[in-house]
Amino acid sequence: MRLLLISNSSMSGQPYLEYPKKEMQKFLDEEDIDILFIPYAAVTFSFDEYERKVNERFNEFGHKVTSIHHFIDPVKAVEEADVIVVGGGNTWQLVRTMRDNGLIEAISAKVKSGAPYIGWSAGSNVACPTIRTTNDMPIIDPKGFDVFNLVPFQINPHYLDANPDGHAGETRQQRIEEFIEINPNLFVVGLREGTMLRLEGENLSLIGIHTARIFIKGKEPVEVEPGDDVSFLMG
């Protein structure tokens, strides 16, 4: 498989999808490819608007995405696409809409057969076995937590080391530790903003400007550096 799993869509003070642009360009090194965009995580803006926003960036490096909402048969659209791109937003809404359209199995099968996959935020969440490490409010019943299962570990996008000033609730680390207590066989990658994971076959590496934190039941969290090989997560 070929995966590019991005923590967030933009950094503070930067245009949308600016910081991962070069990595997406390197990842999509072919010309004349049919890129299918899944906009279903959008809640407060339209799919047309989302498609335009993503195309503004993809056009800069010679590619165009076409949103799945234009197709009468979404499963067929997945089957005929060269590349799958899943945008961020609300993970629960994304999963519910994909499930209602029969796309969970279709996208999983397509990517496992070799189609490159790019996802950011919610799009990274759904590459995992489940969506139970998302940060999003469950605004809708997803009719099940299981998703693409492209990687055998969980991702927590937008990972933060501390709570905002004045907030006395659990830290992100405490919440992830609760998850691995109940799910001891699943590792969790706290993917800080400005970072991404790239999978090429069996080789998984961390890319970006920050470290990532890996949570394993019974062990202290492990920090990995940009450029590190983290292929053990695929084991």
* Catalytic, out of 9, 108, 121, 124: 121
Q: Has 228 been annotated as catalytic?
A: no
Are 192 and 211 in contact by the 8 Å Cβ rule? The answer is yes
pLDDT, mean of residues 203-231: 96
Q: What is the pLDDT of residues 171-197, one digit of tens each?
A: 999 999 999 999 999 999 999 999 999
In this structure, which long-range contacts are made by residues 23-28, counting pairs with CB atoms below 8 Å and at least 24 apart in sequence? Answer: 23/196, 23/198, 23/207, 24/58, 24/61, 24/118, 25/61, 27/2, 27/116, 27/118, 27/198, 28/61, 28/63, 28/83, 28/116, 28/118
Q: Has 67 been annotated as catalytic?
A: no
Confidence tier at 169 by pLDDT (50, 70, 90): confident
SS3 55: helix
Domains delineated in the chain: 2-234 (3.40.50.880)
**Token pair recorded at residue 61:** 């490096």
pLDDT, mean of residues 21-30: 92
**Token pair recorded at residue 74:** 């979404």
- CB neighbour class for 88 (10 Å; exposed up to 12, middle 13-18, buried from 19): buried
Task: Check residue 170 and give its pLDDT.
Answer: 85
User: Could you please report the per-residue DSSP string of 181-202?
Assistant: HH-TT--EEEE-TTEEEEEETT
Task: Check residue 12 and give its pLDDT.
Answer: 85
| Number of Cβ within a 10 Å radius of residue 171 | 13
Q: Has 70 been annotated as catalytic?
A: no
pTM: 0.96
* Catalytic, out of 10, 158, 205, 231: 158
* Catalytic, out of 7, 63, 124, 136: 136
| Number of Cβ within a 10 Å radius of residue 155 | 25
For tokens 């409010």, the residue is 137
Confidence tier at 77 by pLDDT (50, 70, 90): very high
